[in-house]
Amino acid sequence: MWRALVFIGLLCVAAFGAVWLADRPGTVLITFAGYEIQMSVAVAAVALAGLAFFLALLWSLVSGLLRLPSRLTFASRARRRARGYQAVSRGMVAVGAGDTIAARRYANEAERLLGREPLTLLLKAQAAQVSGNREAAEAAFAQMMEENETRVLGLRGLFVEARRRGDAASAQQYASEALRLAPAAAWASDAVLESRCAEHDWRGALEAVERRTSLGLLDKGTARRHRAVLLTADALERVDHDPEGALRSALDAVKLAPDLVPAAALAGRMLSRKGDLRRAAKVVEAAWRSLPHPELADVYLNLRPGDSGLDRLKRAETLMRLSGGASEGRLAVARAALEAREFDRARQALEPLLQDRPSMRVCLLMSDLEQAEHGSTGRGREWLARATRAPRDPAWIADGVISDHWMPISPVTGRLDAFVWQAPPDVLVAPELTLHDDVTADLDDAPKPLPPAPAPQPAPEQAAPSEPPAEPKPDVLKSELKAALNSAEPVNEEAPLPPPGPVVFPATPPDVPKPKEEAAARRSVFSVW
């Protein structure tokens, strides 16, 4: 609308000018080279306007002819660049689809049309990676390092290739250089942190975490947790040669993450050695409220060496109250009651854990309880047999690896703070235990030759009355059970487990001598597992 109003305004001005010239007649005389040209003012104005228009048209024609070669060259370059970027686009699609032949073809076409463009070099490198040509990929990434705008990208590509061929030193060098050029590059920061953790340079790893936090690559909660884990790792490494420094690091870790079990356990153990029992108890109790753990229970029950079994039982009762009756608290009470020979209290603590499917530790603890209270009886062996199909107890797990102790980094991926305390997957059925004749022998005796295999036993409803089978020795069965469970393969957690079936032990052959005597004492559940 505004354009229409402006056009109407200009038209009005032109009409007013024409009327104004028509109302004021005059004569214009031009004398040139002996010629005289006389015309009215209106005609002269029209002639002047026409001459100006002609000169402008002539200038446009001449300048267009002069710029025609450059325009043709520019159009050719534009078409070439358009074809090149189209080749880059199609090449990226081919790389994503895994079409190595098309990726190489489009990469060559893009390089021919665009030259050393960043996207061309990237496509060339990725096409070489998809094709498995590592030398060509490294050459393309090396070309990227020659340009300032693609230097960090080239360093990342060289870092990836170095990691693939197992050259940790070169990978670390590329990551450090990229971190110097681009401090906010998350991949370089992660690589430097991972490298320092792998080298057990915990102080250097702490500096890397601080730098990442200052750049906003880590939130405050994650940064505090990582610092606590690194301080715990530093304390565990210094505990033998620098106890004071290890205690300082452990206490700093507890301040940052009170629920970090390894830090709390180490701090409590070292404080108890120094005689600061009150502070040690506070540290362990704070961690126990967040995560009841057998290591914390072990530290808490043994804060003061030389205490009686009843004193340790009282502290175990305190742990059970703090955990609200959790399974770990009940196991701690049962263990302390067993050591104090308070068998009724141990059964009372374990009773709620026997309702559904008792775990392996519960079954083994019940076996210890039966053996301690009633001696070598069938009940103790029955609990050992039930442990073969019992659910597995929680353990430290990281990236599918089960460890008997906590570690600051994953042994598979090198990820920091990867270990979590959780129950591993159950197993289908433990491998069949090979019960030799030394099952009935003493652990300290040399193994005897294997006797002939006994005849198969008939089904229960068809079996003839016979002597009851001799029960295998519990301590040997526990060692066989432990070896079998260690070799069992985990299965899918979603797959239902088969119902536990009866365990039948072979009868003792008549020519095998009876054991000389039962073992004097059995190790506790916590020492076995």
Query: Which residues does residue 31 pair with via DSSP β-bridges, in sequence order?
Result: 36
pLDDT at residue 14, rounded to an integer: 79
First-residue to last-residue Cα distance in the chain: 88
Which DSSP category does 429 fall into? S
Burial degree of 158 (CB within 10 A; 0-12, 13-18, 19+): buried
pLDDT at residue 479, rounded to an integer: 53
* Residue among 449, 371, 433, 359 at smallest CA distance from 395: 359
- Determine the 3-state secondary structure of 10 from DSSP: helix
- Determine the 3-state secondary structure of 87 from DSSP: helix
Query: Which residues does residue 421 pair with via DSSP β-bridges, in sequence order?
Result: 396
Tokens of residue 49, six digits: 């306007």
* Residue among 421, 419, 417 at smallest CA distance from 205: 417
Q: Distances from the Cα of 377 to the Cαs of 273, 298, 520, 523, in angstroms?
A: 41, 29, 15, 17
Contact 345, 377 (CB under 8 A): no
Tokens of residue 190, six digits: 């992660």
CA dihedral (489, 492, 494, 498) in degrees, to 10, reads -40
Under the phi-then-psi rule, with left for phi > 0, alpha for psi from -120 to 50, and beta for the rest, what region is 119? alpha
Find how far residue 252's CA is from the centre of its chain: 25
List own/partner pairs for 364-370 with CB under 8 A and 24 or more apart. Answer: 364/478, 364/525, 364/528, 364/529, 365/331, 365/334, 365/335, 365/338, 365/525, 367/474, 367/478, 368/338, 368/522, 368/524, 368/525, 369/334, 369/338, 369/343
* Residue among 518, 498, 503, 516 at smallest CA distance from 384: 503
* Residue among 135, 111, 138 at smallest CA distance from 123: 111
- Determine the 3-state secondary structure of 420 from DSSP: strand
404's CB contacts (< 8 A; 6+ apart) are: 395, 396
Query: How far is 195 from 180, CA to CA, in rounded Å?
Result: 16
Query: How far is 138 from 128, CA to CA, in rounded Å?
Result: 9
63's CB contacts (< 8 A; 6+ apart) are: none
Q: Domain limits of the chain?
A: 74-144
pLDDT at residue 426, rounded to an integer: 60
92's CB contacts (< 8 A; 6+ apart) are: 123, 126
Contact 225, 219 (CB under 8 A): no
3-state secondary structure labels for all residues of 211-271: HHHHCCCCCHHHHHHHHHHHHHHHHHHHCCCCHHHHHHHHHHHHHHCCCCHHHHHHHHHHH
Query: How far is 86 from 38, CA to CA, in rounded Å?
Result: 66
Give pLDDT tens digits along the chain (529 positions). 788 888 888 889 878 877 777 777 777 777 877 787 777 777 777 788 888 888 888 888 888 888 888 877 878 888 888 988 898 899 889 888 888 888 888 888 888 888 878 888 888 888 888 888 888 888 889 888 888 888 999 999 999 999 888 888 899 999 999 999 998 888 999 999 999 999 999 999 999 999 999 888 889 999 999 999 999 999 999 999 999 999 999 999 999 999 999 999 999 999 999 889 999 999 999 999 999 999 999 999 998 888 888 999 999 999 999 988 889 999 999 999 999 999 999 999 999 999 888 999 999 999 999 888 888 778 888 998 998 888 889 999 999 899 989 999 999 988 999 999 998 876 433 334 333 333 223 323 333 333 343 444 443 333 333 344 444 444 544 555 444 444 444 433 333 333 333 333 333 333 333 333 333 333 333 333 3
